[in-house]
Chains A and B, each alone.
Chain A
């Protein structure tokens, strides 16, 4: 996995250079990371035009806020992905109307046999999280995963899965606390 570690160092280095105003480093960072972030925008927003707008907003923010990146606190990819998810979720909250997919049974909603986009590229962090997710009760695991990939609120999730709001909150909260215990062990 050493090429992953190298890639990680290179991205951190690029982001540090972007913070000093290097447009060349910014172009290289975009070339290496835009497809990953665009995949996330498309998946969560489910709208090509809006995903493009979100990606533009994300990278203009990267340029302006790169100096707040601290390589000691997070990897460059974690920092970029956090920024991207936050922008996308804020956009979802600004939508006037919630656009639900059809009401479905939770069991049909989520692919519960997931894998990374490319097995060869799975990080140790992913394998670890996967083990801890697998240790959760199915309802907890499925609702945490659905929440993560859809960016939906508790109410939206409860409506879509046709369960009471309190039930959805309890599944997700217990799932999150158990994940923390498992991951921090």
Chain B
């Protein structure tokens, strides 16, 4: 090595900072150097370029959807904007769009479509063990954007539904949440809010039917809830149920 020893020594500190072997105090020293010295900033930058390709050995892992929702909340992106820019999740809801196109408005057809949806989306649903204490669902709207996220706490027998970017409802109409067990009629879970989290009890009948073969759905109903016990308005959002990651 024909570089002077002193230069090597300061170079090493920048390299050690990038590699991550320095303790907290030594790291802070390098950071303040980088902020005040162009030379230090350039050296650190060069070490990032030298060492970082090693990261290519680490397999990518898709983060859960709620991380993106939290980032937007933390940055106070407004709700309308959020709906517009939700990262696209292609594939799953193409069927729903199709059904919407042929006229999802009729209530009898709506119920039929729900059943069909559960069947057609089956292969996409992640397997989950029956022992999972939490389950989760991203309830996506017909435009592909997530309207609500739901977390089911099996031990506490409750479901928490958090609005992400739900569409707006006309006067006198409100969203109602349904559980749709595979091959069965929808069961009402309850009315949910569009601006605040809603916590609902899960009775025994609902708990028994939760699982990866069931789905959640949201329909547009009168504010007091569907008068018939089945969806009467259009289904505006659906979500598969999977084991919560954690």
Contacts and interface: CB of A to CB of B under 8 A. Distances in A.
B57 interface: yes
B205 interface: no
A90 B1 CA distance: 32
A40 B53 CA distance: 12
B58 A85 contact: no
Contacts of A145: 54
Contacts of A121: 56
Contact of B50 (A35, A116, A180): A180
A152 B22 CA distance: 8
Contacts of A93: 23-24, 27
Mostly, the A contact residues are: helix
Contacts of A39: 58-61
Given A89-B27, A179-B50, A147 B21 contact: yes
Interface stretch (B78-86, B108-116, B184-192, B233-241): B78-86
Nearest to B62: A35
A177 B8 contact: yes
Interface string A76-115: 0010011001000110111000000000000000000011
A117 B246 contact: no
Nearest to B69: A56
Interface in B43-80: 45, 48-64, 66-68, 70-71, 74-75, 77
Contacts of B49: 74, 78, 125
Contacts of A23: 77, 81, 85
Given A126-B56, A129-B50, A38 B21 contact: no
A71 interface: no
Majority secondary structure of chain B interface residues (helix, strand, loop or mixed): helix
Interface string A52-68: 10011001100100000
Interface string B200-222: 00000000000000000000000
B88 interface: yes
A148 B62 contact: no
Nearest to A42: B61
B106 interface: no
A122 B56 contact: yes
A22 to B, nearest CB: 9
B21 A31 contact: no
A181 interface: yes
Given A30-B71, A78-B49, A149 B54 contact: yes
Contacts of B84: 24
27 contacts: A27-B87, A28-B87, A31-B87, A36-B58, A38-B60, A38-B63, A38-B67, A42-B61, A43-B58, A48-B246, A56-B67, A56-B74, A81-B52, A85-B20, A85-B55, A90-B27, A93-B23, A93-B27, A121-B56, A126-B56, A128-B53, A145-B54, A147-B20, A173-B12, A176-B16, A179-B51, A180-B15
